[in-house]
Structure 1
Amino acid sequence: MNFGFSIGKRSEEGRKDWKRYYDASVVAGETAFQRLAEAARNTGAYTSVGFSERGAVNGTLYNGNAIFEPGGSYKVHRKLKPTGSERVVWEDADKGYFPVTSTPLGPIGSLICWKSYMPLARVALYQKGITIYISPNTNDNPEWQATIRHIAIEGMCFFVNAGMVIRRSSYPSDLHEGDVASRFPEYACRGGSCIVDPRGHYVTEPVWDEEAVIYTELDMGLPISCKMEHDVVGHYARPDVLELNVNEK
């Protein structure tokens, strides 16, 4: 969907679809968020949820991911740079760059979709010692599977790949731009959710063309033991030669 945007002009029909999407977006901290926080509290679970975030005091949208903690608190990460034509829908992150959640399994953080192709953004998470790297995304191609296995090895962390399954029928039939959605293939995005260990091996194989709940047990000794010979922000770094400065916000 492009909400009627083209270079130098917009369409009124697309504007109506955008307003519908805006209304369905969520303000962090308001009622819908509190319900998710309550669910995390009731289940004693750490929960990662992707969402379209609406600014509380402006008309701007951000591509967001929240990690809820068992106590009910949460941290929101905003996508640093929307990709391609996403830029006409979502703004660059202006805060929530690299939040990390402390858990009994170690620090957990996330980068949304193609932000995992930003090497320095990955290092910003590695510098915080993450053991579980979460990536909500729409990348249903073999190249992405190669990418996530590389990142797991590079960061010596577990990579949780949350690939979306989007069918043509997922789009509302009454969109003003319905003719655009009607031209999509049956699967606009095929998924590919999986978990990769710090050695780059699949803990769970990718799941394609269906929604699924993936259960597994993780050996949390691996992220440290694998760093014996390769620690990208430790003994395998050269801070005297290469240095990353992160503007936290």
Structure 2
Amino acid sequence: MSNREVKVAVVQAAPALFDKSSAMDAIESLTRKAAAQEAKLVVFPEVFLPGYPRGFGFGARVGSRTEEGRRLWQRYWESSIDVPGEETDRLGELAKELGVYLVVGAVERDREFSRGTLYNSILYIGPDGELLGKHRKLVPTGSERLLWGQGDGSTLTVIDTPFGRIGGLICWENYMPLARAAIYAQGVDIYVAPTADARDSWQSTIRHIACEGRCYVLSSNQYATKASYPDDIARHEDLLKDGEVLSRGGSAIVDPLGDYVAEPLYGQEGLLLATLDLSKVVQSRFDFDVVGHYSRPDVFQLIVNDAKQEIVRKASDKLS
């Protein structure tokens, strides 16, 4: 395999919801399975750690919240992680042992201010064991806004690797054209799109991104059933009207011309494995380079505020 090729693995699975130890164990097991098949990049779904709380209302209605809903949110908060922290250290040890890059969707607790806010984040872990970067979802979708805060432009992250540049956006952020442009402008070659969207239309989205960005797209979704949840969660009244399958999956890998390298996987857990030839990224930009010869900076310009947003500054801090 040349230095322009890399074998990748896209995970489709779900942990026991609200149980970060279950999620961490699953990450370790599935990463070992992928590494045993020579994968050097392993991508996990949106908020795999500690799970996507599909179907839960957390006792919220317009104008009111319930005590039971607050307790359920506390359970979610307690199963979330600090970044960096104990779980990222463990992920780093795993990545270093196996010599892989890990891309993991996680619910991140605010460490700097109130510690009362959660973020939907992508973590990038290198084969040296280091946390290389993270991305916080810019706009949580719909009812997600009650669970997660908004990220800022400082985490529109793309990382360098020996085989190409890796970055991406989370689920419906991918419908934000300017956010995509900010990622494209950093020269992304492998675009990760962890998601909770199992609709047919999502496949059109990731194929469009691949074709637009002239990059490989790795989309990872959970296959989740009530059987995968703790008993009390599976029997929760919010889920009573839902079927046994809560998310059918749809993980896939798409090449820079919008064609499938690995077809969407539905109805089961699994690993999608593929060898990506990054020379195809270069070839695909011959006739279309969205931030190169096919851009028109004399007509259109994008300004990205990549500064970290801070709610509190001390008078002694140096003002920028």
Q: How far did 1:168 drift?
A: 2.3
CA distances 1:190-215 after superposition (whole Å, capped 9, x unpaired): 11111000011000111111111111
Q: Quick one: higher RCO (CA 8 Å, sep 6+), 1 or 2?
A: 2
CA–CA distance in structure 2, aligned partners of residues 118 and 112 of structure 1: 11
Change (3 A) 1:56 1:240: same
Counterpart amino acid of residue 182 in structure 1: L
1:125 aligned onto 2:183: yes
CA–CA distance in structure 2, aligned partners of residues 3 and 159 of structure 1: 33
CA–CA distance in structure 1, aligned partners of residues 234 and 71 of structure 2: 7
The aligned residue for residue 208 of structure 1 is 266
Counterpart of 1:105 (choices 152, 163, 176) is: 163
1:5 aligned onto 2:42: no
CA–CA distance in structure 2, aligned partners of residues 168 and 246 of structure 1: 41
Query: How much is the aligned-residue C-alpha RMSD, in angstroms?
Result: 1.4
Counterpart of 1:145 (choices 203, 213, 237) is: 203
Q: How far did 1:108 drift?
A: 0.2
Change (3 A) 1:176 1:18: farther
Counterpart of 1:68 (choices 90, 111, 125) is: 125
CA distances 1:164-194 after superposition (whole Å, capped 9, x unpaired): 1121233332249811123222211111111
The aligned residue for residue 51 of structure 1 is 106
SS in 2 for 1:149: helix
Indicate if the aligned counterparts of 1:14 and 1:176 stay in contact, CA closer than 8 A. Answer: no
CA–CA distance in structure 2, aligned partners of residues 4 and 15 of structure 1: 7
Unaligned runs of 5+ in 2: 1-55, 308-320
Listed as ranges, the matches of 1:216-227 within 5 Å are: 216-227=274-285
CA–CA distance in structure 1, aligned partners of residues 297 and 153 of structure 2: 26
The aligned residue for residue 19 of structure 1 is 74
Indicate if the aligned counterparts of 1:16 and 1:176 stay in contact, CA closer than 8 A. Answer: no
TM-score, normalised on structure 1? 0.96
**Percent identity of paired positions between Structure 1 and Structure 2:** 43
Indicate if the aligned counterparts of 2:226 and 2:234 stay in contact, CA closer than 8 A. Answer: no
TM-score, normalised on structure 2? 0.75
SS in 2 for 1:213: strand
Does 4-13 or 165-174 show the bigger shift? 165-174
CA–CA distance in structure 1, aligned partners of residues 234 and 154 of structure 2: 33
CA–CA distance in structure 1, aligned partners of residues 118 and 287 of structure 2: 43
Indicate if the aligned counterparts of 1:171 and 1:181 stay in contact, CA closer than 8 A. Answer: no
Counterpart amino acid of residue 214 in structure 2: M
Counterpart amino acid of residue 91 in structure 2: L
Indicate if the aligned counterparts of 2:227 and 2:234 stay in contact, CA closer than 8 A. Answer: no
Counterpart amino acid of residue 36 in structure 1: L
The aligned residue for residue 92 of structure 1 is 150
Q: How many residues align?
A: 249
Counterpart of 1:169 (choices 216, 227, 230) is: 227
Counterpart amino acid of residue 144 in structure 2: E
Counterpart of 1:155 (choices 208, 213, 219) is: 213
Indicate if the aligned counterparts of 1:190 and 1:208 stay in contact, CA closer than 8 A. Answer: yes
SS in 2 for 1:93: coil
Change (3 A) 1:243 1:95: closer
Unaligned runs of 5+ in 1: none
CA–CA distance in structure 1, aligned partners of residues 256 and 225 of structure 2: 32
Indicate if the aligned counterparts of 1:3 and 1:177 stay in contact, CA closer than 8 A. Answer: no
CA distances 1:93-128 after superposition (whole Å, capped 9, x unpaired): 146431111011211002000000000000101000
Indicate if the aligned counterparts of 2:154 and 2:305 stay in contact, CA closer than 8 A. Answer: no
The aligned residue for residue 187 of structure 1 is 245
